[in-house]
Amino acid sequence: MNREQIEALDVGAVLEFSMLGNGNWKRTRVTRIAYRGVSIHGRAYVGFYTELGTEGAQISGSITEGDESTARYYRAPSEEGRPA
């Protein structure tokens, strides 16, 4: 994800998330932003929770600017209703 996407990531956004970083991607909705910031190397990062299953479970994840090994931006809440 790029800096703009990381800084704009908010509750309701849909990410493609690979829990194990193994290339098995699943679309999931962000339920909570845990933290965000900029590293000592100048790269933006964000920690988040997403839906997991149908029983209200959540799983945490994080993404750093330029890294798409575990999470990719799919759709922002403002894009809801637009074709995927």
- How confident is the model over 40-60, as a mean pLDDT? 88
Q: Domain-by-domain residue ranges, the chain?
A: 3-78
- Spatial strand order of the sheet with 26-38 comes to 57-64, 44-52, 26-38, 14-17, 71-75
The CB-side HSE value for 81 (13 A sphere, CA atoms) comes to: 1
Most confident of the ranges 7-16, 33-42, 72-81: 33-42
How many residues are there in the chain? 84
User: Does residue 45 carry a pLDDT above 90?
Assistant: yes
Please check whether the domain covering 3-78 is classified as CATH 3.40.91: no
pLDDT, average across residues 13-35? 80
End-to-end CA distance of the chain: 17
